[in-house]
Structure 1
Amino acid sequence: MTSRSRRSNGEGNIRPLPSTNWNWRHTVGTTVDGRQLMESGTEPTRREAERVLRESITDFERGLTPLPKFLTVEQWLRQWLNVKRAELALTTHANYKHLIDRHILPTLGDKRVQVLKPSDLRELYAQLVERGYAKSTVRQVSVILSCALQDALYDEIVVRNVAQFAPLPNTKAPEKARALDVPEVRQFLAVARSHHLGVLFEVALATGLRRGEICALKWRCVDLNSGTLLVRENLPVVNGRPVPGPLKTEASARDIPLAAETVALLRDHYERQALYAPHAESFVFTNPDGSFVNPNTLSRWTRQLAVNAGLGRVRFHDLRHTHASLLLRRGVPVEVVSRHLGHTNVAFTLSRYRHVYADEGRVHAVGLSALLSGGAT
């Protein structure tokens, strides 16, 4: 008895179906366990099936048929995220994993990557909006899918990035950052100074440090003689736990000059801290037992102090916005402020951190006669 031979790659056939349609198929490779991989489809007529088969075989011979067909969205995203681990900050990697597990996989995880459609992504985004998620969350989900599918395109796993054809729906506006004005800063500090780490909030307002940066700050990075603070370490929160990690960006590594008033605050704090914590390698701001401050705890303290001061909701990050806006209001060059904040460009500083205070509008109110004067022709 003659054994049935296996088709070679690119070899195909067509056959009629009971529905009167015609099925076409051809081999495109084999799996690791020896099973043949097939490219197939159904057309209404024999002639149409022959035409599509020829086109598919031509695409395969030109290397335009992506593999593997059996890869699911979950399999690809987990593989992609594992490869990306070396490129991403700890917090970014943890956030991506959280968003993938919580929002993407329950809806798209079982779908094959190659049959994913723009409508699948639009439906996912719409579901997130209906469930009340902010625009920033939906955008992060779309960024993950767009980046992962673009890499799948580069690896010839898909023939197009469907995320490019799935625009984001309208969503509720994200919470706006807030910059305290001078009276509000004084109200906040009047309450904060009663806290055992009141000096931390004064330094935060004077330097604009991020919460991970100020929690990770050690005395060896503070030169009280030259009045310089070196930002070199970060303490991000990953999966609910603070983990020492790299700075947010390359520009985050910076030297911040300190005003004499800030140096005096830190010098006094240094002397008082000697009563309960060693200085060599110790953190600048610690709990009474000498341990570092959890960034999440710092955020909670900030919210509570603001409420106690009658200011409503204030986040720790709002102190950073306050620092930037007050400096810019005083006429400090935006290039200097941007460097203080560890930004890569001044445009970002102006667009995100420059808050115009109400009294600035009144100070710069100009009448028509003044506008028309000045010697212009």
Structure 2
Amino acid sequence: MGLTKRKDSYYVQFPVLDDGTTLTLARGIPGAKLKRWKVGCRNKEEAVKQEGLIKTKLLEGLRLAPEPQVASVTVREFALQWLENAKYTLAVKTYANYNQILTLYILPSLGDQSLPSLTWADVKGLLNKKQQAGLSGNTVRLIRAVISTILTDASEDKVITGNPLLGQRRKRRASQITNPDVCPLSWEQKQVFEQKLDAMEQDETLTPSYTMLLRMYLKTGLRPSEGRALKLGDIDFHGRRVRVERAATLDGAIKNTKTGETRWVDLSDGLLAQLKTYVTLLQAEDVARGKESAWLFPSLTGTLLDERHVVRAFHRVLEGAGLPRFRVYDLRHTFASLLLSSNIPLPYVSQQLGHSKPMITLKFYTRWIPSGQVHRVNVLDIADTVMTLATTSREAAASLPA
């Protein structure tokens, strides 16, 4: 009994008695068998919560969904059973996304097919049809991912002999591999954007919470979900940095960061000065409101900013500045691409972005790393010259009379 981690997922196992219809917790009872559940959480705190939920269900008696015979099980039967069981291990939003993908795209086409007879050709045909129908590349990839997850679980349950999608790779253009969906602002566009941001703040056509949040995105590379969830206590003015330890979902719930880890992000001199001015204004607004807000970038009523309102404010700035349409997330791409194009070391940029490894940063931003600077290898010649001069000096000194 206990919690274990394998690759990116957590697993929990308990000794249970299985009477064919119900599983019950059975510590120290003869005949009990260990049963393992994949809870799939990205961090230990969430996994421990899921462990507690499963334990509670076992104490109450966890009823088993009737399993269809392997020979006759269809994709629909297994997928719906899998989704029902996944309620205990998936986040609410993830469960809703899986349910939508199954209902809209997978089950209408493959639902009545026998699961053991499903082949890669069947899945590939579905993906091609959806792509031809105009679905985005991300949606098509998600359809494939959901099917593959279901097939992997079916393989582990011995319903099928193996996942036919494993080893099948999609052909992608080199540009898709190195920098998919990356569209940063140029240096000139960044300057125009900031000038318009300042102007809209001065003429009060945009409230300070929005203007300061957009500056934070641009000059720290925070993910949009991380920026909205910042609190005043996260700013370390003395250390000139900001702590990033939580994120906000689209519906306003607070969760861990994407990697499940806390990181510190450096603040530039200019941004630090703007933050000090902003915090003074924020504290005055709290006094006027009669209540201190929990958030660094609150709404007019002191609540967490709505992501949709942030997007609208961002687009207003773009339109006012005469700039093309960008996404809020492109401010993060702008931060990374401009730093890398200025010869800032890749490991530093990766750390600021909160990537788990520099290779992820390299995958997205390779083409912004300067190349073709052949003169850099001259440092080897310089080093050789310095070493030669040093050796000559020592030899000359040794030849002098004592």
Relative to the length of structure 2, the TM-score reads 0.66
| Residue 215 of structure 1: aligned partner | 228
Structure 1 residues 365 and 334: CA distance shift in structure 2, 3 A: closer
| Distance change in 2, residues 1:281/1:230 (3 Å) | farther
Q: Which residue of 2 aligns with 1:324?
A: 336
Superposed, 1:105-144 pairs within 5 Å as 105-144=107-146
Partner residue of 2:312 out of 297, 300, 304: 300
**Aligned: 1:250 with 2:255:** no
State the Cα distance separating 1:226 from its structure 2 match. 2.9
1:350 pairs with 2:350 = no
Q: Secondary structure at the match of 1:69?
A: coil
Tell me which residue corresponds to 1:229: 242
| 1:56-87 CA-partner distances (Å, limit 9, x unpaired) | xxxxxxxxxx9533433233233334555566
2:277 is aligned to 268
- The change in CA–CA distance for 1:215 and 1:270 in structure 2 (over 3 A counts) is same
* Mapped contact 1:122–1:168 kept (Cα < 8 A): no
**Which segment drifts farther, 78-87 or 317-326?**
78-87
Aligned to 1:27: none
C-alpha separation between the residues in 2 aligned to 1:204 and 1:311? Answer: 17
Higher gyration radius (CA): 1
**1:95: Cα distance to partner?**
3.0
SS in 2 for 1:275: helix
Residue 139 of structure 1 contacts residue 168 of structure 1 at CA under 8 Å; is this kept in 2? no
> What fraction of aligned residue pairs are identical, expressed as a percent?
26
- When residues 289 and 225 of structure 1 are mapped into structure 2, their CA distance, relative to the original with a 3 A threshold, is same
Show the 5 A alignment for 1:160-199: 160-164=162-166, 168=170, 176-193=181-198, 194=200, 195-196=206-207, 197-199=210-212
Q: CA deviation at 1:250?
A: 2.7
- 1:106-132 per-residue CA deviation (whole Å, 9 max, x = no partner) reads 212233322323332122112101111
Letter in structure 2 aligned against 1:269: Y
Question: Conserved in 1, the CA contact under 8 Å of 2:180 and 2:364?
Answer: no
Distance verdict in 2 for CA 1:314–1:83, change over 3 Å: same
Change (3 A) 1:258 1:190: same
Distance in 1 separating the partners of 2:295 and 2:172? 44
Query: Would the alpha carbon gap of residues 69 and 276 (structure 1) be closer, same or farther in structure 2, given more than 3 Å must change?
Result: farther
Counterparts of 1:22-101 in structure 2, within 5 Å, are 67-84=69-86, 91-101=93-103
User: How far, CA to CA, are the matches of 2:87 and 2:191 in structure 1?
Assistant: 43
Corresponding residue number in structure 1 for 2:5: none
Q: Could you tell me how far 1:322 is from its partner in structure 2?
A: 0.8
Gaps of 5+ in 2: 1-19, 22-67, 201-205, 385-402
After superposition, the Cα gap between the structure-2 partners of 1:355 and 1:291, relative to the gap in structure 1 and judged at 3 Å, is farther
Q: Specify whether residues 356 and 80 from structure 1 end up closer, same or farther in structure 2 by C-alpha distance, changes over 3 A only.
A: same
Q: Partners in 2 of 1:319 and 1:82 — Cα distance?
A: 39
- CA drift of 1:168 comes to 4.7
| AA aligned opposite 2:128 | A
So what's the TM-score if we normalise by structure 1? 0.70
Kept in 1, the 8 Å contact 2:248–2:255? The answer is: yes
Q: CA RMSD in A?
A: 3.3
Q: Give the total of aligned pairs.
A: 302
Amino acid at match of 2:294: S
State how far apart, in whole Å, the 2-side matches of 1:231 and 1:88 are.
Answer: 24
Summarize the Cα distance change of 1:165–1:181 in structure 2 as closer, same or farther, 3 Å threshold: closer
Gapped runs of 5+ residues in structure 1?
Answer: 1-30, 33-65
2:283 maps to a residue whose letter is A
Higher percent of residues as helix: 2
> What SS does structure 2 have at the residue aligned with 1:242?
coil
- Describe the superposition over 1:167-208 as per-residue Cα deviations: whole angstroms up to 9, x where unpaired: 65889x797321212211011112223122212111111111
| Residues 221-243 of structure 1: CA deviation (Å, up to 9, x unaligned) | 22223323111111122xxx332
Aligned to 1:200: 213
Q: Deviations over 1:270-308 (max 9, x none)?
A: 111223337856111122222211223322332332233
2:160 corresponds, among 149, 158, 161, to: 158
